[in-house]
């Protein structure tokens, strides 16, 4: 069946960097554009910037172009005829000059999930490019922006090129509101802030591990990991992540909403490090994707917040609007829980996706689970570190129990409008060329596979930490583990391991 006009992809994502280290040339960075805008000026939005111009230059060097000419003589510019930037008209011949053109003219804004170096280094260094005439807008939740302001663009680590604190004014901060702006949009687009023309964004805080620091003026003692049942205020879908502390040198990305015991000063205290999940919406079609920053499993988190994202995502999957989820899986299942440092493994990721699938299976509306996956994790007897997250996919226990371990408390999602217009089938086309023809609709697939609630959803795996080992190829290992777990769980989603230079259409 040929793709009709209303089934054409709405968003184009280019993977510049797909890894989480230690290779500094492949750290996290994506480019997102609405396909309706073509390659127009300012139409491209960066999501994280671990790499930038250098990676664009490398990609451009690999792919073909048609040089514009007249009477056998070269005129200005060329058109790319393959690769992730296919169809882009570029004014120069050399890859370096064209990469600079793309950065200066096409990319007007960046979303940052959190200010760790592997997510910002390229974008920061790229600000030294000559010829900028327009500000670059750096958007993120306030804690991310404060991290960039206080610790990067501070005149010490990097010159203050921003429009704050008497800077040079070539970077402007955009502080997003947790859960979406109440003043932005209406109807289906309520809360989405347009960052570049045609792309609206909502941001949700997620947790990325804990940090042990000494804060001399904090007056706090070390905190045992609280359970949700013990802390009623953690039940809010949108926990407060703003800092309210006397220590001005403390990191803005350490979440103060975790309760702490008062006690003598000069004590070490645990804080949760904040990251972000972005819902990115094509304003023309209503189609959406989610891009997660670094994230840990709710089951072992001091401040579980992934469920907030799943609650928002489920009705969008039911309606056919949510097409793909970009989420990290840094380590394979041989990694011990206490060595995850705020990251995912295949088994933990499948537990998270099982929660999402359960919500979708219920129509994305109303009361959620009477049962939930047990969050208990037992070490394998052989000590190889896989934990028992995979077993949790097969073992369910009541949401309320007498177990002293962490309990998962499910909330009702927001009211779902049954008249929410369907944009047509979800799409994710991977590859440098145009999307392939022929597909079935989500309704057809649902009829064929009623027990596969995530059928058609693409889960793009990011941030794999390659061990640079002759004997172990981390992407291949993680891909196989995820596919084996999905085969057993039968959720219906497709896993795609991202790589630099990849083009994805949704």
Q: Which residues contact 29 (CB under 8 A, 6 or more apart)?
A: 15, 16, 17, 46, 47, 48, 49, 50, 51, 52, 55, 119, 122, 123
Query: Could you tell me the CA-to-CA distances from 438 to 7, 227, 342, 429, 441 in Å, in that order?
Result: 10, 48, 40, 11, 10
Q: Which residues contact 156 (CB under 8 A, 6 or more apart)?
A: none
Q: What is the pLDDT of residues 474-485, one digit of tens each?
A: 999 999 999 999
Listed range (133-142, 160-169, 301-310, 387-396) with the worst mean pLDDT: 387-396
* Average predicted confidence (pLDDT) for the chain: 79
Count of alpha carbons within 13 angstroms of residue 454, beta-carbon side: 26
Percent of the chain predicted with pLDDT > 90 = 62
Residue 460 bridge partners (DSSP): 326, 496
User: Chain-centre distance of CA 503, in angstroms?
Assistant: 16
Looking at residues 210-236, what average pLDDT do you find? 43
In the chain the first and final C-alpha atoms are separated, in Å, by 18
Q: What is the pLDDT of residues 44-92, one digit of tens each?
A: 999 999 999 999 999 999 988 887 766 566 566 889 999 999 999 999 9
Cα–Cα distance measured from residue 160 to residue 149, given in angstroms and rounded to the nearest whole number: 8
- Check residue 6 and give its pLDDT: 54
Contact 11, 506 (CB under 8 A): yes
Provide the token pair at 418: 């049954």
Residue 373 bridge partners (DSSP): 396
Q: What confidence tier does 472 reach under pLDDT thresholds 50, 70, 90?
A: confident
Q: What confidence tier does 388 reach under pLDDT thresholds 50, 70, 90?
A: very low
- Check residue 251 and give its pLDDT: 54
Q: Which residues contact 33 (CB under 8 A, 6 or more apart)?
A: 11, 12, 39, 43, 44, 45, 196, 198, 199
Provide the token pair at 382: 């052989």
Beta strands 107-111 and 44-49, pairing class:
parallel
Q: What confidence tier does 254 reach under pLDDT thresholds 50, 70, 90?
A: low
Looking at residues 461-474, what average pLDDT do you find? 91
The answer, yes or no, to whether residue 277 has pLDDT greater than 80, is yes
Contact 16, 500 (CB under 8 A): yes
Listed range (59-63, 218-222, 277-281) with the worst mean pLDDT: 218-222
Starting at the edge strand found earlier in the chain, the sheet holding 65-70 runs 65-70, 73-80, 89-90
Q: Helix or strand or coil: residue 107?
A: strand
Q: What confidence tier does 426 reach under pLDDT thresholds 50, 70, 90?
A: very low
Contact 32, 199 (CB under 8 A): yes
Q: What confidence tier does 386 reach under pLDDT thresholds 50, 70, 90?
A: very low
Helix (H) or strand (E) holding 212: strand 199-214
Report whether the peptide linkage leading into residue 22 is cis, meaning its omega lies within 30 degrees of zero. yes
Count of alpha carbons within 13 angstroms of residue 236, beta-carbon side: 12
Name the more confident of 273 and 375: 273
Which of 460, 450, 435, 440 has its CA nearest to residue 492? 450
Query: Could you tell me the CA-to-CA distances from 163 to 15, 55, 125, 159, 195 in Å, in that order?
Result: 29, 27, 17, 12, 18
Domains and CATH numbers, the chain: 5-505 (3.60.15.10)
Percent of the chain predicted with pLDDT > 70 = 69
Count of alpha carbons within 13 angstroms of residue 258, beta-carbon side: 26
Query: Could you tell me the CA-to-CA distances from 87 to 82, 91, 186, 255 in Å, in that order?
Result: 8, 13, 34, 44
Q: What is the pLDDT of residues 309-353, one digit of tens each?
A: 999 999 999 999 999 999 999 999 999 999 999 999 999 999 999
- Check residue 268 and give its pLDDT: 53
């Amino acid at each position: 069946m040929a793709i009709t006009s209303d089934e054409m992809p709405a968003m184009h994502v280019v993977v510049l960097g797909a890894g989480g280290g230690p290779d500094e040339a492949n750290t996290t960075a994506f480019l997102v554009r609405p396909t309706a805008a073509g390659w127009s000026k300012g139409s491209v939005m960066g999501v994280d910037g671990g790499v930038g111009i250098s990676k664009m230059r490398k990609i451009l060097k690999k792919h073909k172009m048609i040089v514009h000419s007249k009477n056998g003589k070269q005129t200005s510019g060329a058109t790319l005829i393959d690769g992730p930037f296919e169809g882009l008209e570029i004014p120069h011949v050399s890859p370096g000059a064209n990469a600079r053109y793309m950065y200066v003219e096409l990319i007007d804004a960046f979303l940052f999930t959190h200010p760790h170096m592997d997510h910002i280094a390229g974008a920061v260094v790229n600000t030294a490019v000559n010829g900028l005439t327009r500000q670059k807008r750096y958007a993120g939740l306030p804690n991310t922006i404060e991290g960039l302001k206080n610790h990067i663009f501070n005149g010490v680590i990097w010159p203050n090129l921003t429009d704050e604190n008497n800077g040079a004014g070539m970077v402007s901060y955009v502080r997003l509101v947790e859960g979406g702006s109440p003043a932005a949009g209406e109807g289906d687009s309520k809360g989405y802030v347009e960052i570049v023309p045609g792309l609206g964004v909502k941001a949700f805080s997620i947790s990325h591990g804990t940090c042990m620091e000494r804060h001399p003026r904090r007056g706090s003692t070390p905190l045992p990991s609280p359970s949700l049942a013990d802390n009623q205020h953690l039940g809010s879908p949108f926990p407060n992540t703003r800092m309210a502390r006397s220590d001005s040198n403390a990191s803005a990305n350490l979440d103060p909403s975790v309760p702490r015991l008062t006690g003598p000063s000069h004590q070490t205290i645990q804080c949760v490090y904040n990251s972000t999940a972005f819902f990115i919406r094509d304003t023309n079609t209503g189609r959406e994707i989610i891009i997660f920053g670094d994230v840990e499993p709710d089951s072992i988190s001091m401040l579980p917040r992934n469920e907030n994202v799943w609650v928002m995502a489920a009705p969008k999957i039911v309606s056919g609007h949510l097409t793909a989820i970009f989420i990290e899986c840094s380590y394979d299942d041989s990694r011990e829980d206490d060595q995850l440092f705020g990251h995912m493994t295949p088994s933990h990721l499948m537990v998270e996706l099982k929660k999402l699938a359960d919500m979708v299976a219920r129509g994305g509306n109303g009361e959620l689970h009477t049962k939930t996956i047990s969050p208990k994790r037992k070490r394998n007897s052989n000590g190889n570190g896989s934990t028992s997250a995979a077993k949790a996919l097969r073992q369910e226990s009541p949401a309320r129990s007498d177990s002293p371990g962490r309990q998962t408390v499910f909330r009702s999602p927001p009211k779902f409008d049954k008249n929410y217009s369907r944009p047509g089938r979800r799409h994710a086309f991977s590859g440098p060329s145009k999307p392939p023809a022929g597909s079935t609709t989500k309704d057809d697939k649902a009829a064929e596979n009623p027990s596969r609630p995530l059928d058609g959803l693409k889960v793009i795996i990011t941030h794999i930490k390659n061990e640079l080992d002759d004997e172990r190829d981390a992407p291949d290992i993680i891909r196989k583990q995820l596919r084996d777990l999905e085969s057993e769980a039968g959720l219906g989603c497709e896993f795609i391991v991202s790589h630099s230079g990849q083009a994805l259409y949704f």
